[in-house]
A and B are shown apart, each in its own frame.
Chain A
Amino acid sequence: MLEPPPNDADLGDPAQWVDRYGDALLQYAVTRVGDRETAEDLVQETFLAAFKARRDFDHRAAFSTWLIAILRRKIIDHYRKDARTLVTTDAELDEVAPMFDRTGHWTVPPANWRSTPAHQAEKSEFWQIVRRCLAELPRHLAQAFELRELGLATVQEASEIAGITPRNLSVRLYRSRMLLRSCLEQKWFATEAVSASEKSADESSPMRVGQARSS
């Protein structure tokens, strides 16, 4: 595809960028950093950086994609700074230990999650709970999970950002996934079973146990 050479006029008035892309950038940032204030700061930095670098925009990708790429780097920088402030306790604390007995068997066996969030409203609600569960995790574990699962970084990149070895990252990912699934089982799937049986006659209930299989 042939694109016209980039110039300022093509990109329009920078103030309009804010109206056109601001909300979408904020959404992207909020879902990845969790905190609204931080997300707004990152969006602001993104627009300013985009303005300074606007002549580098080469039209090979959509302008929106280019903005997201800048925002993604800002988010990663944020994680990197965050990682430096973390006092890590990998060695002494094994958060997963209570989940198993001395023979390596489950103390509370994982349940069969019969339904998975399928509809818009459910997904949104599910995501809120994921967020809440991540907030309860030790920060260094939540960070590992977010970097890896929110499409921000590869395993290699994530370990560099966190300032740890890939092996260590793998341990953190393991612990974060185990704590997260345990939290979700309590907060989402447990209440779901209760509310579904209580409200089985209520058709407006978003819970449809048994409708979607978890595998």
Chain B
Amino acid sequence: MKERSKLSAWNLDCRAASELASESLDRPLGRGERLALRLHQLICPPCRHLIAQFHTVRRAVASLPTPWRRVWSEESIGLSAERRDAIKQLLQEASRSDEAD
């Protein structure tokens, strides 16, 4: 990635801006970085779109099904019958050998 020392609000290109935009999702940006990114966004619609897209993807992924809150009602996924039986079998064996101990 780019040398951060060369970073300034006025020479940030789109590539550097996109790198900063990604990093802002993982760590708080420094003051200079934040300012540079904000100024770049003002003059650059594509980078503005990029940042919105990053957030859209993050939001969409965050609303993924967590088990006890079904987002995925369309196609609920279940254990196959064979697997279900296999696991029960294993658990029964485990509990028998447990009792034998």
Interface residue B90 (Cβ < 8 Å from any Cβ of A): yes
Contact between A24 and B64 (Cβ–Cβ < 8 Å)? no
Cβ of B32 within 8 Å of any chain A Cβ, yes or no, is: no
The CA of A44 and the CA of B47, in the complex, are separated in Å by 45
- A27 / chain B contacts, CB cutoff of 8 Å: 65, 67, 72, 76-77
B62 vs chain A, min Cβ distance (A): 7
In angstroms, how far is the closest chain B Cβ from the Cβ of A74? 14
Contacting residues, chain B, for A214 (C-beta < 8 A): 49, 52-53, 55-56
Q: Are B88 and A110 in contact (CB under 8 A)?
A: no
Chain B neighbourhood of A79, CB < 8 A:
none
Main secondary structure of the interface of B (DSSP, over half): helix
Distance of A115 Cα from B34 Cα, bound (Å): 27
The residue that A177 contacts in the complex, of B54, B63, B86, with Cβ under 8 A, is B54
Give the A interface residue count (CB, 8 A). 63
Cβ proximity bits A17-46 to B, threshold 8 Å, 1 near / 0 not: 111011111111011000010001001100
CB distance from A180 to the nearest CB of B (A): 7
Give B34-49 as 1s and 0s: 1 = Cβ < 8 Å from A's Cβ atoms: 0000000000011101
Which B residues fall within an 8 A CB radius of A?
A: 1, 13-16, 18-19, 22-23, 25-27, 45-47, 49-50, 52-68, 71-80, 83-84, 86-88, 90-92, 94-95
